[in-house]
Copies of this chain bind each other. A is one copy, B any other.
């Protein structure tokens, strides 16, 4: 296997993947802004519908990230909306490349020898005004070193559990899994259950979903299709769950419960989440990475 996948085949694949992640970001932004317009109930309905604020960034402009000795280039497009349905939602696209420092390259498969890497992806976290609407996370990415793979998944964190929501969310992801490999749903659901878990609380973060990493079946087209399908399954089902509950009134107790549950979300992101930790430690864009933090949290 070549040391770096710098050839027409891989240049084209990188271009296709980055282009898809950016396109998905655009599609999701349009859908979420439409939801903001549709709100007709709850105390929040008199607020202005939210709109995404777009912040393009390049690595050259960053000055608040850790200095790690890595040589990182590229950039991304942060998109954040503070709305009347979506209290805070970040939908970030990034495409970065360069050379990891000696310290980090040993942690990245295929980067041990020269540290060279390329990565693009979309990362989304939504914290909702209503405690009746589940919080959600979705992230898909393609990584290239001397190896290449896809990773990602989507998982749901209801504050007020709802069996139908959970079943429908899992079913949407399962349909994409089953369309690609009969083993994927079982494996990637179990991976999410293991991953989205807080050992120090002995509790799951939410009701799970799917999680996969280092996906390289040998058929790049199939892996890319499965990765796209994860994003599309999310984009199909999550807006349905939002519309199902967003106009229902909630109680002060439910809101308080939501703020406390968000503390668990914050604990998971800062203590365990590999993307967050690795991103912060390797000199990633702090603002983009921590866009996932809940807007308001209580540890009473």
Chain A residues proximal to chain B, CB less than 8 Å: 63-67, 82, 88, 199-203, 259, 263, 266-267, 270-271, 277, 280-281, 286, 289-290, 293-300
A88 vs B298: C-alpha distance when bound (angstroms): 11
The answer on a CB contact under 8 Å between A202 and B65 is: yes
Contacts A202-B64, A280-B200; A298 near B295 (Cβ below 8 A): yes
The answer on a CB contact under 8 Å between A202 and B280 is: no
List 9 other contacts, CB 8 Å, given A66-B199, A266-B297. A64-B200, A64-B201, A67-B202, A199-B280, A267-B290, A271-B277, A296-B296, A296-B297, A297-B297
Shortest distance from the beta carbon of A294 to any chain B beta carbon, whole Å: 6
Give the chain B neighbours of A290 by CB distance below 8 A: 200, 267, 299
A200 vs B281: C-alpha distance when bound (angstroms): 7
Q: How many copies does the complex hold?
A: 2
The answer on a CB contact under 8 Å between A296 and B293 is: no
A270 vs B298: C-alpha distance when bound (angstroms): 15
A82 vs B299: C-alpha distance when bound (angstroms): 12
The answer on a CB contact under 8 Å between A202 and B270 is: no
A297: nearest chain-B partner, CB-CB: B297
A263: nearest chain-B partner, CB-CB: B293
Give the chain B neighbours of A271 by CB distance below 8 A: 270-271, 277, 280
Give the chain B neighbours of A259 by CB distance below 8 A: 296
The answer on a CB contact under 8 Å between B300 and A295 is: yes
Give the chain B neighbours of A200 by CB distance below 8 A: 64-66, 280-281, 286, 289-290
